Amino acid sequence: MKIYNYLQNIVREKGAAYLILLDPDKLSEEKLIPFVKHCEKSDVDGFLVGGSLMINSNLELFLEKVKSSTSLPAIIFPGSVNQICSAADAILFLSVVSGRNAEHLIGKHVLAAPTIKQSGIEPISTGYILVESGSTTTAVYMSGSLPVPRNKPEIAASTALAAEYLGMKLIYLEAGSGADQPVPNEMVKAVSGQVSVPVIVGGGIRNPQTAREKVENGASIIVTGNFFENENNWNLIKEFASAIHIKQNIFV
């Protein structure tokens, strides 16, 4: 529970936590260490590490580099059962509760569980809710499931509550990496109002104002990925962090 408690403490102290997604397929070796250090200086609270394919990369080496350059936690955000590695601090044990594909609800988990136990990393059970966000996202395509329609916040809220009753410790509202549109504020509000566990919101968040709106509507953790693949945007990380840390910063 170490990392889960860490996240809860950040939410208590700062109002919400800011995690940045590192995709080993998309972040070159030369950029990784400077980027991670820059994130830490900019008040980011931790990293999610993972990708949908992991074609050109070695997760273990990647995670070792991340861990050697920061004291912030590295949490695996697995795109497949192969993405389990003891160099991480924790893993989001994701069940795609918005879908009806048994493989992604429980099947892959049976294969992954013994390896996670062996690795010693902390599993954090997470109800993963895919949300319609424009053109088909990789997450929707890879999961072989339908996302929740974006104008149906009540479906997302009921799904999240069911996930909490099943024992899940986090709810992840996912528009998908590079989504045309982020998860709607009304849906963030409906879900956060329904559950008592922290709600993560990610996908298609490209400016601090949008991140702030999600927090104002009840999100506890914000994730961005894509936007910082462009080095020219790195100078905005601090602004994102300030917008998200709603208890600490006045944001105009």
Please give the residue ranges that form the binding site for ligand 1GP (CB under 6 A): 21, 174, 177-179, 202-205, 223-227
| CB closer to ligand 1GP out of 89 and 174 | 174
Closest CA to 86 of 53, 57, 120, 113: 120
Q: Which residue is nearest to ligand 1GP (CB)?
A: 202
CB of 120 to ligand 1GP, least distance (A): 25
| CB closer to ligand 1GP out of 163 and 211 | 211
CB of 231 to ligand 1GP, least distance (A): 15
CB of 42 to ligand 1GP, least distance (A): 16
| CB closer to ligand 1GP out of 174 and 213 | 174
Q: How many residues does the chain have?
A: 252
CB of 222 to ligand 1GP, least distance (A): 9
**Residue 17, token pair as written in the block:** 């936590």
Alpha helices of the chain — where are they, by DSSP H? 2-14, 29-41, 59-69, 102, 108-119, 138-143, 153-165, 185-194, 208-216, 237-244
**Residue 98, token pair as written in the block:** 């918005």
Taking the CB of residue 1, how many other CB atoms lie within 10 A of it?
10
